[in-house]
Amino acid sequence: MRYISTRGGVSPIEFQDAVLMGLADDGGLIVPESIPDASGELERWRRLPYDELAYEVLRLYASDMPEADLRELVVRTYSRDAFDPAPAPTVSVGSIHVLELWHGPTLAFKDIALQLLGNLFEYILHRRGGRLNILGATSGDTGSAAIAGCRGRRGIDIFIMHPRGRVSPIQQRQMTTVLDDNVHNIAVEGSFDDCQRIMKQIAGDLDFKRRHSLGAVNSVNWARVLAQIVYYFRAAFDAQAATGAERVRVTVPTGNFGDVLAGWYALKMGAPISLLILATNVNDILARFYNTGVYALGSVVQTTSPSMDIQVASNFERYLYYKVGCDGARLRTMMSEFARTGSLSIEPGPDGVIDADFLAGTATEEQVFATIRKYHQEHGYLLDPHTAVGVTVAENVGRAAEPAPLGLHAGEPAASSRARQTRAPYDPPIVCLATAHPAKFPDAIKQATGEDLARHPAIDALAGLPTRCEVLPNDTQAVRQFIERTV
């Protein structure tokens, strides 16, 4: 398997080169030359434990790694030492199936990919020599998971930017209490979108990127998306086993489009998934796209689900690449227009549908609190606010069995680019991705339930620890100079 850029300016490269390149050198995103068909492997794969399933998926994409090396790396990544009791167990809660992705070291779904990426970086650098300076941006969970995956690694320094005052206090402490010499936290006086912009501008300076061996841990790095494909197969298999259904629907709370994109790749590979239900909070640029065909910037609104407080979804470019027929030149034009105007659009198909693989909806803050409260009262189960966004949209979708016109407002129940199609509630079953442990957002849980319920020993242990963080202005040059001084 070889890799190319969405913008057509990178000659085909191997998997390990793609991992180190991160953001494509032409400013685009790395994608595989083809999507492998795994439909003939499903019966064998469904019987495998998570680490073996991950190996089978990754070997289709990492063809330049010796199979024995890849197997050892994957098995080590997903051991009980890192994930307890498993990386991605599925549990039944009421009428939905919750895929718990928070059993890693930082209690967030990002651990599943970033523990693997840290091992990949170390493996490649050990064989090729040299050093890697990683630059990342976080709206909350990516930063701590990336730091946990890279702290103390040989040949790696990691620089993580977060928007000052716009991540939860716990998310901030998970990052800034890590004092390893190779870890550098930066609080930027701006939004997450500003952090992403700075990261892409610095990575787009090819002289700087090469001179300082700059790499990426955000989901612009293809390995991040690849690792997340695995748990869609696992969840679909588990829900099938529980219900006997032929296929399942999967609801994904998303802001940067990386997680739901991994689900789309799994669907295209042949995973038994009939529909991806994209759930946003009130920062609903993605939901608006799937309901109107227009992808247009709005203002970022702070919510209790900060990892989704995003307007520019960096992984959306990968999806658009396929949407425009893998035409890199056309995509370059579209992205240039978006950079200039803050808007782009896609025409619906003959049936008036933007994409039959997706349905999209939005959850308000009031709905999120109501959902957290309901699931605690009725099922004794605590949802973090991001997961509650997904569950809220899943429930609205389940209640919507009547057709609706394209352009239904994204905040209405079951706002949907597929709402023209009639279906019965919860048929096929719905899997909801649980992206973080509720203990990471105790204030939101207390506001929803009236009780201080969200606790975890790993979070409690952060209290009183020393911290280290550099506060910088919302300025690309300031971050660039900090990296140069530190390196």
Q: Is the bond leading into 32 cis (omega within 30 degrees of zero)?
A: no
Domain extent listing, the chain: 228-457
Q: What is the torsional sign of CA 335, 294, 364, 427? A: negative
Task: Pick the closest to residue 92 from 231, 228, 240 (CA basis).
Answer: 240
- Report pLDDT for 143: 92
- Choose which CATH entry (2.60.40.10, 3.40.50.1100, 3.90.1150.170, 3.40.50.720) describes domain 228-457: 3.40.50.1100
Question: What are the tens digits of pLDDT across the range 449-481?
Answer: 999 999 999 999 999 899 999 999 999 999 999
- Report pLDDT for 399: 58
Q: How far is CA 20 from the centre of its chain?
A: 19
110 is catalytic: yes
- Report pLDDT for 378: 97
- Report pLDDT for 400: 57
- Report pLDDT for 4: 98
- Report pLDDT for 254: 94
What is the spatial distance between Cα 462 and Cα 209, in angstroms, rounded to a whole number? 34
Task: Pick the closest to residue 124 from 62, 76, 212, 82 (CA basis).
Answer: 62
The segments of the chain whose pLDDT lies below 50 read: 401-426
φ, ψ for residue 322 (rounded to 5)? -70, -35
The active-site residue out of 110, 200, 209, 374 is: 110
